[in-house]
Amino acid sequence: MPSLIVQKLKDYQQLMKLNLSMLVVFSSVVGYIIVPSVTVEWFSLLLLFLGGLLVTAAANATNELLERRTDKLMKRTMSRPLPDSRMSMTEASIFVALTLSAGLFILGYYFNTLSALLSLASYLLYAFVYTPLKTVSSVSVLIGAIPGSLPCLIGWVAATNHMGSLAAWTLFIIQFFWQFPHFWSIAWVAHEDYERAGMKMLPSQGKVGHFTAVQCVLYSAILIPMSVLPMVAGIGGWISVVGLGVAAIWYLYNSVLFLKDNSDAKARKVMFASFVYLPVVLISLVIDKYL
């Protein structure tokens, strides 16, 4: 019996993509913390974390529900609970309904209606626009970058109940441009898997030519001048400028290496640089506020 419980917990962890969910929620929490007027209370942070985690879990679970057939065709996803038939569609749907309603309630009741509405919009965009578009066009990456950037804005709105300022949109803008090399490096490495499932994630027709790498270079290069954006918006100082600048230069450097050598090894370096960049940005902004 204990082993069955452990397996079921692992299935739910896969269904909600726990590691991805934690990064998403972390950006939301940072968006809340860096608001200049906010005095951080641990109970409020815990509620924001929980609300964001539940909505994100619902979005990822809905994604897996809709992609259960294509997931079965890809090596990296065929062992997920739905394609492997360890979990029924009914069970996964109940999980989505419970987590989504609970998460939206927490955000709406303990924070404000606007943060709950933004979270709902993010859920709908990710689950019902981005997910089905993945098999239609690489435009899905552009659409997916919107809900992928909203969590930090949601954190800000949870603290302030408004989003009408440059400061509110700063992290959204940075995270929006960060996502393109991130997505495309992953899509390059996993192209054969995506192709088997009929997913069109690269901006070019397959792993041919340098167009994908050029796009990675352009979008990572844009992040370098954006390093001063938090300072301009009044939510950062020299620590964030240096942190964001160094991380962006590292991101660009690896993108250039990928341009010179269109190999999986160099694409993985871009992917690794993307995993480093975002935490550096978030941590730099938090340090700037409290030093």
Whether pLDDT at 269 is above 70: yes
pLDDT, average across residues 70-74: 93
* C-alpha dist (Å) from residue 276 to 172, 192, 204: 17, 25, 26
- The backbone region for 263, taken as left when phi is positive above 0, alpha when psi lies in -120 to 50, beta otherwise, is beta
Q: For 124-130, what is the mean pLDDT? A: 97
Q: What is the amino acid identity at position 158?
A: A
Rounded alpha-carbon distances, angstroms, from residue 140 to 44, 70, 71:
34, 16, 17
Please, where are the H alpha helices in the chain? 2-15, 18-33, 42-66, 68-71, 89-110, 113-125, 131-133, 139-160, 166-189, 191-196, 211-222, 229-233, 238-260, 264-290
pTM: 0.94
> Sign (positive/negative) of CA torsion 85, 87, 91, 95?
negative
Question: Which pLDDT score is estimated for 38?
Answer: 87
Query: What is the percent of the chain with per-residue pLDDT over 90, rounded to a whole number?
Result: 84
For residue range 188-205, what is the model confidence (pLDDT) as tens digits?
A: 999 999 999 899 888 887
Whole-number pLDDT of residue 161 = 96
pLDDT tens by residue, 3-18:
788 888 999 999 999 8
> What is the per-residue pLDDT for 208?
80
Q: What is the CATH architecture of 1-129?
A: Orthogonal Bundle (1.10)
Return d(Cα 71, Cα 222) in angstroms, integer: 33
Residue 20 has pLDDT above 90, yes or no: no
According to the model, what pLDDT value does residue 201 have? 87
Q: What is the torsional sign of CA 63, 68, 72, 77?
A: positive
Is the separation of the CB atoms in 241 and 229 below 8 Å?
no
Q: Do 96 and 58 contact (CB within 8 A), yes or no?
A: yes
Output the CA angle 28-34-36, nearest 5 degrees: 140
Q: Closest Cα partner for 236 from 280, 181, 276?
A: 280
- Give DSSP secondary structure letters for 200-262: --SSSSSS-SSHHHHHHHHHHHHTTGGGGHHHHHTS--HHHHHHHHHHHHHHHHHHHHHHHS-
Domain residue ranges in the chain = 1-129, 164-291
Query: How far apart are alpha carbons 53 and 44 in whole angstroms?
Result: 14
Return mean pLDDT, the chain.
Answer: 94
Give the model's pLDDT for residue 16: 95
Q: Write out pLDDT tens, residues 140-192.
A: 999 999 999 999 999 999 999 999 899 999 999 999 999 999 999 999 999 99
Average pLDDT, stretch 231-235?
Answer: 95
Burial 120-143 (b: 16+ CB within 10 A, else e): bebbebbbeebbebbeeebebbbb
Distance separating alpha carbons of residues 248 and 229, to the nearest angstrom: 13
CA distances from residue 202 to 146, 185, 219 in whole angstroms, order as listed: 17, 9, 14
What size, in residues, is the chain? 291
Q: Are the C-beta atoms of 158 and 114 separated by less than 8 Å? A: no
pLDDT band at 1; cut points 50, 70, 90: low
pLDDT at 2: 66
pLDDT in tens, 83-120: 999 999 999 999 999 999 999 999 999 999 999 999 99
pLDDT of 61 above 90: yes
> What integer pLDDT is reported at residue 3 of this predicted model?
78
The Cα-based distances of 57 to 44, 103, 129, 212 in angstroms read: 20, 9, 17, 30
Q: How far apart are CA 226 and CA 21, in angstroms?
A: 25
